[in-house]
Amino acid sequence: MQPLIAYPAGSLSGDCRVPGDKSVSHRAVLIGALAIGETTVRGLLEGEDVLRTLAAIRALGARAERTADGAWHIRGVGIGGLGEPEDVLDMGNSGTAARLLLGVLAGHPITCFMTGDHSLRSRPMNRVADPLRRTGAEIATRSGGRLPLMITGAADPVPITYRPPVASAQVKSAVLLAGLNAAGETTVIERSATRDHTERMLRHFGADFRIAEVEDGTAITVTGQPELTASAIDVPADISSAAFPLVAALLTEGSRVTFPGIGMNPGRTGLLQTLHEMGAAIEQTNARQAGGEPVADLVVRHGALKGVEVPAERAPSMIDEYPILAVAAAAATGRTVMRGLAELRVKESDRLAAIAGGLAACGVDVEAGEDYLVVDGRGGRPAGGNARAVASHYDHRIAMSFLVLGTAAEKPVLVDDGRAIATSFPGFLPLMRSLGADIRSAEAEGTAP
């Protein structure tokens, strides 16, 4: 356990350089391993989740080395060229790594065993395994479609057309990655748009893509068996990581924080849209492209927020940001209603329950249903902590969200365990402190639960 306590802060200020985008980092490693030649990746997120992906591609026969300048060099083996690993592939806490890698493995005639930590072993994998079985891959899971699992990829993968029953960039990406080694066209038809990092990066490496509007949604088609060519990647700063100091700046009086080089993929900006509707002072400047992704600098200033209705159809563009949005809603004036949140039940924790429990522990009026959350904000600083610690459930986004709440609250907030923060944002604590936040070890303070 690593209990942490966040004390109310004054203003926050400075340049906030957050780590590279986790979603883009995973894909850069995986697709770089399937390309011919050496891919140089700059700005790669070096959190535990991405390090698991790097370890997996090494075990499968690709090379990945970090040079003194911080760049990663990935020597790919070509599509279909991965080899059978000698040991189990341990994906740690990363659902993205596990599900995308399953897509890659489905197109290779090798047998692999995959596991993860306690949290990942409880998360559903059949949503990815079911369509991959249709390509010819054999996948055996524990009851409930859970890890550990065994996969034997298809010797001759079958191209498929698949309509995901729920909006999921991970499912879409896994099917498209499996289709890379299939003779013919693999198509995913989405009823609701999801983040398109995989499509952008495959194009960047030279894959043949086609996107068309059809009667029941958008059809994304990849032509199998291309020769992907190694290409340099500059990973944009992660908007999901930036969300935590960004909301902290919005909620603490007198704050002004700049965020250079933030990824502005349209499938990821739902939080910014919602915060604008709440009245947030967020300015975008210097729009540009980096590694096939749109990027901009953000300038964020403190200001009063109001409650809003967040439509269910926005959920795919901000599914990871609801914990920190709930913290913003706690400081807003009026009621914020968030719908379409069923996916939060099967993240690193039951995030919907974790958000509601944490807010209630901090004196915030909150109601959670099976797929919705209602937060009644009173304006200004939320009440903050009491004798109970907020339970993080070993979930990095829950831990960071409630440390931000403590920074903006009337009283300190104690989070029971901050270890999971390292999975996505290993520099979170020193970065927040550099901006003016006061977050300390609860054990050192003698306030550990």
Strand partners, 15: 258
- 387 — pLDDT class (breaks 50, 70, 90): low
pLDDT at 234 over 80: yes
- Rounded to 10 deg, the angle between the 239-251 and 396-408 helix axes is 20
Stretch 213-221: mean pLDDT: 95
Distance of CA 282 to the CA centre of its chain: 22
Question: Could you tell me the pTM of the whole model?
Answer: 0.89
- pLDDT value, residue 1: 84
- pLDDT value, residue 292: 81
Structural domains in the chain, CATH included, are 4-20+236-445 (3.65.10.10), 22-224 (3.65.10.10)
- 446 — pLDDT class (breaks 50, 70, 90): low
User: With contact defined as beta carbons under 8 Å apart, do 153 and 105 qualify?
Assistant: yes
Tell me the C-alpha distance between 299 and 15, whole Å: 9
- pLDDT value, residue 383: 87
Q: How far is CA 117 from CA 25, 46, 88, 123, 191, in A?
A: 21, 18, 13, 10, 32
pLDDT at 152 over 70: yes
Q: How far is CA 212 from CA 55, 164, 190, 221, in A?
A: 36, 16, 11, 8
Tell me the C-alpha distance between 401 and 425, whole Å: 12
Stretch 214-219: mean pLDDT: 93
pLDDT, tens digit, 9 for 90 and up, residues 93-143: 999 999 999 999 999 999 999 999 999 999 989 999 999 999 999 999 999
Residue 320 falls in the annotated catalytic set = yes
Average pLDDT value for the chain: 95
- pLDDT value, residue 259: 98
pLDDT, tens digit, 9 for 90 and up, residues 169-213: 999 999 999 999 999 999 999 998 899 999 999 999 999 989 999
- pLDDT value, residue 291: 72
Give CA angle at 52 (226, 80), nearest 5°.
20
- 388 — pLDDT class (breaks 50, 70, 90): confident
Stretch 383-394: mean pLDDT: 84
Nearest residue to 217 via CA among 132, 103, 309, 316? 316
Strands 146-152 and 185-190, by their bridges, are unpaired
- 447 — pLDDT class (breaks 50, 70, 90): low
pLDDT, tens digit, 9 for 90 and up, residues 235-294: 999 999 999 999 999 999 999 999 999 999 999 999 999 999 999 999 999 999 887 899
Nearest residue to 177 via CA among 151, 193, 204, 157? 157
pLDDT, tens digit, 9 for 90 and up, residues 9-63: 999 999 999 999 999 999 999 999 999 999 999 999 999 999 999 999 999 999 9
Q: Which of 238, 320, 416, 417 is catalytic?
A: 320
E strand or H helix that includes residue 80: none
φ, ψ for residue 142 (rounded to 5)? -70, 170
pLDDT at 419 over 90: yes
Stretch 314-322: mean pLDDT: 94
